[in-house]
Amino acid sequence: MELLFKWLISTSIKGSILIGCILIMKHLLKNKLGARWHYYVWFLVLARLVMPFAPESSISFFNLLGFSKHTEMITKNVLVYDPNIIIGWFKSGIQIDGWINDHQTLTQALLQSSIYFKLMIIWIIGLILFSFYTIKTNIRLCSKIKRGSLCEDAQILTILEDCKEKLGIHKDLLIFKVKGIQTPAIFGWIRPRILLPIDIEKKLSPKGLEHIILHELVHFKRKDIVLFWITGILQIIHWFNPIIWYGFYEMRQDCEISCDSMVLSSIGHEEWKNYGQTMITLLESTINSFQSVGVVGFSTQKTQLKRRIKMITLFKKNTYKISIISVILLSFVACTFLTNADDSIYEKKNNLAVSANEVSTDKENIVIEGSDEKENLQEKEMLWPLPDYKIITSTFGKKKHPKFNKVSMHTGIDIAAPKGKTIVAAADGTVIHSEELGAYGNTIIIDHGNGIATLYGHCSELVAKENTTVKMGDEIAKIGSTGASTGPHLHFEIRKQGEVVDPLKYVDDK
């Protein structure tokens, strides 16, 4: 679950970078490309946010930023987890001498969990709150629509049929007059309905009614309702990222401008003044626009009105069409932002760095040619961590704690030995923790790569230091009784991708 959350964070960051680049391009190009391009370029953001994975490319923009292929770094097919994640594996839950208390409180569990888990809990809470608000808002709108009335005005229905014919729409659509809404809108994914304010025919001329109905029908024809649902869901998922929210806000505005262009393509450029006047008339009677996810309205926000009017005045018959230049530019952005960094580039850089550091002396021959260590430790390939001491006082599994008299899960094995005896590394790896760790007392944690880590608890002395590399059999600590311990012994644990496993399946006790 933590890996999924880290993927979400990584995707959100990459989506934010893409949004920033799109905004820069739009500012530089401004009116040089058509309204349709300004709208469709945002589809790349949607693709970036929903892609579970992306192909690697040497031309990916993320090569410049050092993004790896996955949330974890992958080198020669070996997973390298962040040390904090690994340490968090051993902290998760209330643990006493390597025992997980089945009766722990939620607060205690959160306090001892990793930072990623805590952030994930916060994200889930936000997700639930925003989802609840969205559902509540849509329920309120549905209630308003149910209280509304089916439009039977002959003039409006005639205009609807004429507009459908202009756009080549054959599906039967209903118009509802709804009290409490201030701007026209289209609502519903499966059964779309056009919503009009009460007495709108008194505010707008027949031409004005034609403009707003055409606008809503364009939304229907382009399936903008589905698109707005997708963006709404993505906003809820990325509720913590204001850049994503702002990007989708700009996308909606570009959607309206693109709609304006398509309407003008239908009614003729000479109508742009009347179309602009329709927007101004609606703005005069509008206080709040729609905030519901499932609604696509005739947006008339004051902050965007000036831009829309300007785009209408600049409208040309061919601006709605995508030019060859637009297609080339969209393709270039897609190739550079919908791909991941090419890991082979980093491997080549690492190999060059390794070659540059090859050392050969008369006293000793040290040649660094890359890692020859096994990519994945198999069963019975680890060394017994206590030479000459094989007595296990507590095995792996559920049993009664000897000190606290509670049935709990014992996540490792306890090996009895006199105080001060040598503890050795069970396999090659990197020491990522060498200090006190709660009830474990003085503790060593070694990362062996590919999601496998070992823990050595209750030590009296820690010999191996943090961030040092150790070999199988190297002395790393000495037997002790620190932490929540009943006497001198070694508490030995193994975690594989965060899951507790029986150490006896991995160590050779012969």
Q: Confidence class of residue 125 from pLDDT cuts 50, 70 and 90?
A: very high
Q: Confidence class of residue 114 from pLDDT cuts 50, 70 and 90?
A: low
- Pick from 469, 433, 330: nearest CA to 45: 330
Residue 431 lies in a domain: yes
Residue 494 lies in a domain: yes
pLDDT of residue 271: 76
Residue 218 lies in a domain: no
As for how many domains the chain has, the answer is: 1
Please give the angle made by the CA atoms of 211, 212 and 214, to the nearest 5 degrees.
65
Poorest-pLDDT segment among 173-182, 334-343, 417-426: 334-343
Q: How far is CA 141 from CA 63, 137, 149, 253, 281, in A?
A: 46, 6, 14, 22, 24
Residue 333 lies in a domain: no
Taking only the tens place, the pLDDT of each residue in 448-478 is: 988 899 999 999 999 999 999 999 999 999 9
Dist CA 269 CA 275 (whole Å): 10
DSSP string, 70-98: SSSEEETTEEE--HHHHHHHHHSS-BSSS
User: Which 8-state DSSP code applies to residue 247?
Assistant: H
pLDDT of residue 482: 92
Of the chain, the percentage scoring pLDDT greater than 90 comes to 31
Kindly tell me if the per-residue pLDDT of 194 is higher than 70. yes
Q: Confidence class of residue 288 from pLDDT cuts 50, 70 and 90?
A: low
Residue 88 lies in a domain: no
120-126 average pLDDT score: 90
Of the chain, the percentage scoring pLDDT greater than 70 comes to 75
Residue 394 lies in a domain: yes
183-212 average pLDDT score: 87
Q: Confidence class of residue 316 from pLDDT cuts 50, 70 and 90?
A: low
pTM, 2 dp: 0.63
- 461 touches 493 (CB < 8 A): no
Residue 436 domain boundaries: 375-508
DSSP string, 467-497: T-EE-TT-EEEE-B--SS-SSSEEEEEEEET
**CATH code at 421?**
2.70.70.10
